[in-house]
Chain A
Amino acid sequence: MILSLVKADFLKIKRKGMWLLCLIGPFGVVALQMVNYGVRKDYLFDQMDDRWLYYILNINSFTPLAIVLGIVILTSFMASIEDETNAWKQLVALPVSKREVYLSKFTVVSCVLFLSSVLLFLFMSGYGLTLGLGADIPYLRLMEYSFLPFFAAFPVLGLQLWVATVSKNQAIPVTLGVVGVILAYSAPLLPDWVIWKWPALSNDWDHSYINALLGIGFGLVLYLLGMIDFKRRDVK
């Protein structure tokens, strides 16, 4: 049952530009560094002995912003395709549970974001290889900075999907997203418990996997809260 719901949700986002966004996100993040390295390669090479690490960190200064904004756009879009045509009522009138409807939306957004992470890994490694950053290619670190921000952003995803599905006015989740991206941008100034800081993969313990584990755990909590609230509410 859930599989056919997910399929239906994938059909709904077809030809709406969402797959294009899924490509533009990771490409844009790497393209900004293409320009950056294209203009002042020598200066950037002098910044740190480990050129690969410096390159990855440069990319990672934009990844959290792109992920947070991508989540805002995707979740608001998933809600507005039902809002626009007043389809919520029709959707929940079908013999499916509201919990599955919510799970399906969550799954589709996660799939699109995960694909973006895979693309980020490919683009980041690909451009890095052409730059001549050194013979030791840090595959593990490349994977770390491609996939862990995605897991660390789960709480933001859970929160945004929750707010987007229960708000009649999409200005609310989008404004929350703007505030979120300001918080993600100010990550170094924030304490570790702020969820928008997690995709930046920095914390007091210096282990980035902690952010990913916390992200999955707390993301699950927010997902459940959102699902319970969505189920409880009346659909107009």
Chain B
Amino acid sequence: MFSVINSEWYKLRKSKVLFLLLVAPLIGLFIGLANSSIEIEEINAWHEKLVMMNFTYAILFLPLISGVLASVICKYEHQEGGWKQLMALPVTRGKVFLSKYLLLILLMLAMQLMYLVSIYLVGVIEGITDPFPMDIVWKSIFGGWVATLPLIALQLWVSIAFKSFAAPFAINVIFTLPTILVINSERFGPYYPWGQPFLMMNIGGSTGDVFFVPWDQILTVVGSSFLIFFIGGYLYFQKKAI
């Protein structure tokens, strides 16, 4: 298993794809510094930065970029019969799917951490002197990562299914754009999988739990959509004609 993940990593390591991860902190810096005029009465100046940076980042950027990464990770296999070559090796399809998924979520975690750095940088540039609320930021960064797990599973599924980048991206866009409206709804917002990154990164939520979202919502919405997308993709890949 480990060797399969390792070989997936080799395919990426020297490619320029890792630069993609740097887009996240750049976007973070842009949204953080562009919004500097908004003033909210808060105890801690970091809170206001976090509210507004996480909004754009979690609603649009995180779901969209996770789809791009998923397409990237299947790129070599779609070229020149790569799937055939990979499957001719003594590896099972299940292991290939699982290792691609694991590598993807590790990349997403790395991206979230770089976004964390960009939050800190925005604060330093703007000269925020309040103590950095690590407990809150940590919840938000890690929560956003957990919320993207089902989305990555779906994107890996459609990226395996389609050769081009355009088709998986189109599907991603169709589900991501409505998030802007759906999260306003108290009734439907909590049940929309693409709204979860925002809900789990939004620092305004309940603070008693480990995340900003109650556990039962994480388990039902994130958990069940993860199971559906992951098992769906896994079974699809088992049966896919190569």
Contacts and interface: CB of A to CB of B under 8 A. Distances in A.
A73 B75 contact: no
B218 interface: no
Contacts of B35: 189
Contact of B75 (A32, A62, A169, A181): A169
Contact of A21 (B17, B65, B170): B170
A175 B19 CA distance: 11
Given A171-B71, A182-B30, A69 B173 contact: yes
Interface string A12-31: 00000100010010001000
Nearest to B177: A65
Interface in B162-218: 163-167, 169-170, 173-174, 177-178, 180-181, 185
Interface stretch (A76-84, A124-132, A216-224): A76-84
B23 A178 contact: yes
Contact of A17 (B65, B75, B170, B173): B170
Contacts of A56: none
A17 B174 CA distance: 13
B61 interface: yes
Given A80-B165, A174-B169, A175-B20, A186 B174 contact: no
B31 A182 contact: yes
B113 interface: no
A81 B180 CA distance: 32
A178 B181 contact: no
Secondary structure type dominating chain B contacts: helix
A170 B34 contact: no
A35 interface: yes
A66 B177 contact: yes
Interface string B134-159: 00000000000000000000000000
A36 interface: yes
Contact of A36 (B72, B167, B170, B181): B181
Secondary structure type dominating chain A contacts: helix
B4 interface: no
A77 B166 contact: yes
Interface size classification for chain B: 20 to 34
B68 A186 contact: no
B165 A171 contact: yes
Interface size classification for chain A: 20 to 34
B68 A178 contact: yes
A57 interface: no
A133 B39 CA distance: 35
B114 interface: no
B61 A76 contact: no
B173 A174 contact: no
Contact of A175 (B65, B164, B178): B65
B108 interface: no
B121 interface: no
B72 A171 contact: yes
A21 B48 CA distance: 38
Contact of B185 (A39, A171, A178): A39
B27 A73 contact: no
B60 interface: yes
Interface in A150-196: 169-171, 174-175, 177-179, 181-182, 185-186, 189-190
B170 A185 contact: no
A72 interface: yes
B122 interface: no
Contacts of A73: 166, 169-170, 173
B26 to A, nearest CB: 8
| Nearest 9 CB-CB pairings of A with B | A77-B166, A170-B165, A80-B164, A189-B34, A76-B166, A178-B64, A69-B173, A73-B170, A171-B72
Interface of A: 17, 21, 24, 28, 32, 35-36, 39, 62, 65-66, 69, 72-74, 76-77, 80-81, 84, 169-171, 174-175, 177-179, 181-182, 185-186, 189-190
Interface of B: 16-17, 20, 23, 27, 30-31, 34-35, 56, 60-61, 64-65, 68, 71-72, 75, 163-167, 169-170, 173-174, 177-178, 180-181, 185
